[in-house]
Structure 1
């Protein structure tokens, strides 16, 4: 880091939240809010235009959600760090965001001091996770692994969808990627969950990541 302020893009689809965050963070002498965005697509455009140090990213947004936007930003702008700030702290959201390339994850219960510290930490290339997120990740790591790959009699389409779940895609994005209806995606996922014994989407994400890593090491 240099002595220049941290350049920051604030992304949230709720105007009051977005504007309050932008004003609050821009008051810090070492932070410069260079742009705001109302959805993931705008976030990607703003990031490409301003090349900020950090993008403060909401998750549940129209057009393109925060997970999809995070993946696109990290793919094209490796020097830009994405810090998630969201109301969601479920396993699926956490895993999807981190898999997409987010370097930090906070909930909107965080106060100004915590958010500012997280922005500064993320700008230094370090990972920052709220205590509740850390607890969830530790709990996930302690869970028994899903069934081994040879036990899963999945169809080619189910394996394809499992891989996309592991990449952090949601049902509408999977449907668009495979050019099938969202109802068909849900049917395949229900069959996949029944065969694999998954109890949540987080189980599918964990299994997909473990399976992909195993395939790479073979």
Structure 2
């Protein structure tokens, strides 16, 4: 059985991504910052017929990410797919947002993704198999003035994804991103179910580094 870690397993995209991979027979490891979030997601997954385990993980803390990956490898042997879906939203004017706030968001959006990828990549390279999937945002290509931290972070993680893809593709490791260009909302083109399907298709096809989902 293959194992997927979903970092940022909240009630929207994270839940649907976890369910999509779980329905394909993956052992699902859900990671989120609070036990309350994990408990709700794990319960919903079980109701949907997907067995999953939850691990508390603050994506801004390198030690938490390292512990999560180490625990998963100890329990299930290896990480076959890493999904990095963590981010935060903080509305502010670019003229007023603090450096501390930008740094906090950058640590989660970019550095967390990079650190997680650096930890799983060596064993994937050795096996010449594995996938790293990262949630991107349309703010990477067209900044949202009320969300400066997110805009900077998504631009950064988009570049990180492309660099990882180019670095690892010759080693049999696939890296890709789903860029969500709009507000995720159920019942629309950007329904979390559609986001999850885009992730799974990237994983299955492995023929492009980026899929852009828009509300159009």
Q: TM-score range by the shorter chain?
A: 0.3 to 0.5
Structure holding more helix per residue = 1
Output the TM-score relative to the length of structure 2. Answer: 0.44
Higher relative CO (CA 8 A, sep ≥ 6), structure 1 or 2? Answer: 2
Output the TM-score relative to the length of structure 1. Answer: 0.44
Structure holding more strand per residue = 2
Q: Which has the larger radius of gyration?
A: 1
